[in-house]
Amino acid sequence: MKSLWNSLPRAFALALIGLAVGLSGCGGGGGSTDSGDSATPVAISETNATDVASTAMLAGNASSTTSLSDGFVTGVEGTQAMPAPTIRLIELAIAQAKRLNDLSATPGAVTGVQASETVLCDVSGTVTAFYNVQTLNSVSPGDTVGLTFTNCRMDADFLIKGGMAITINSYSGNFLPNGSMSTSLALSNFYMNFAGATFNANGTMTIDTTASSSGSHSVVRSDSYSYGVSYNGTNASIAFSDYELDMTTDTASATVTWTERTHFSADFPSFHGSGDITTLTPMVESSAGITAGKLQVAGDNSTLYMTFQPGNQVHLELDSDNDGDIDYENTKNVYELNPLSELF
Phi, psi angles (nearest 5°) of residue 91? -55, -45
Q: Are 251 and 217 in contact (CB under 8 A)?
A: no
The set of residues, in sequence order, having a beta carbon less than 8 Å from that of 231 and lying 6+ positions away, is: 28, 30, 196, 197, 198, 343, 344
| Averaged pLDDT for residues 166-176 | 83
| Averaged pLDDT for residues 54-63 | 78
pLDDT at 281 over 60: yes
pLDDT digits (tens, 9 = 90+) for 214-272: 998 989 899 998 988 888 888 889 999 999 999 999 999 999 999 999 999 999 888 99
Range with the poorest average pLDDT among 94-103, 126-135, 239-248, 258-267: 94-103
pLDDT score at 234: 86
Range with the poorest average pLDDT among 28-42, 46-60, 178-192, 193-207: 28-42
Q: Cβ of 288: how many Cβ atoms within 10 Å?
A: 12
pLDDT digits (tens, 9 = 90+) for 314-325: 999 999 999 999
